[in-house]
């Protein structure tokens, strides 16, 4: 989830980009935009960067293990003469 500081910054930038006539209401709009952003992002199924990095590392290790196991199975099949026919 986004940190509160990032939400505040995003809401402030959105409110600041409004036409001059609406900027009079900037503080109120900023609060409302922040609340709307928080509610909208809260409904999303998001993970933190740390959680994403942990899962990416797990996936990389799993892929490496699968590749090692595939190579081992191919080697054992060759030793047993169970390799795929030459036409495949």
pLDDT at 13: 79
CA dihedral 64, 65, 70, 75 (to 10 degrees): 100
**Token pair in block for residue 53:** 């990095």
HSE (side-chain half, CA atoms, 13 Å) at 50: 2
- The counts of H helices and E strands in the chain are 3, 0
pLDDT in single tens digits along all 88 residues of the chain:
567 777 778 777 777 777 776 666 766 777 787 788 888 877 888 888 999 999 999 999 999 999 999 999 999 999 998 765 555 5
Q: Where are the domains of the chain?
A: 4-43, 47-88
Q: Tell whether pTM > 0.85.
A: no
């Amino acid at each position: 989830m986004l940190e509160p500081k990032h939400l505040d910054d995003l809401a402030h930038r959105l409110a600041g980009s409004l036409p001059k006539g609406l900027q009079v209401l900037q503080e109120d709009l900023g609060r409302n935009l922040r609340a709307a952003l928080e509610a909208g992002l809260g409904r999303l199924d998001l993970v933190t960067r740390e959680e994403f990095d942990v899962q990416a590392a797990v996936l990389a290790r799993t892929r490496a293990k699968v590749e090692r196991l595939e190579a081992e199975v191919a080697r054992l099949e060759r030793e047993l003469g169970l390799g795929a026919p030459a036409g495949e």
